[in-house]
Amino acid sequence: MHIKKDDIVMVISGKDKGKKGKVIQSYPKDGKVLVENVNMVTKHQKPTQQMQQGGIIRQEGALEASNVLLYCAKCDKGVRTGHKVLGDGKKVRFCKKCNETFNN
């Protein structure tokens, strides 16, 4: 999967198109990601032992990983990425537009 936890991504399709956010969690098996303050859904929560107060909660819903692109600060937009191996043997991702490397 091209997106990892703590990456800054830009949504490229759907109701939140154009929004940026930090990836909270990624689900590689399902091909989905949770992005901070994007795709907010309402959930009806019953009171439990741990959470005495029930009610309606707003939380992030999972997005398809194909609907987000890694955000490049230099290009100031979502970009496609590639992989390359540096001289010291470290594998990194890079922006295909400006060749900027992302910290993994």
- Can you tell me the distance from the alpha carbon of 89 to that of 101, in angstroms, rounded to the nearest whole number? 15
Cβ distance 9 to 68 under 8 Å?
yes
**Which comes out higher in pLDDT, residue 31 or 49?**
31
pTM for this entry = 0.84
Tokens 């009806």 appear where?
A: 44
b/e per residue 44-65 (b: at least 16 CB within 10 A): eeeeeeeeeeeeeeeebebbeb
pLDDT of residue 42: 96
Q: Going edge to edge, which strands form the sheet with 101-102?
A: 81-85, 91-95, 101-102
Predicted confidence (pLDDT) per residue in 8-30, tens digit: 999 999 999 999 999 999 999 99
Predicted confidence (pLDDT) per residue in 59-91, tens digit: 999 999 999 999 999 999 999 999 999 999 999
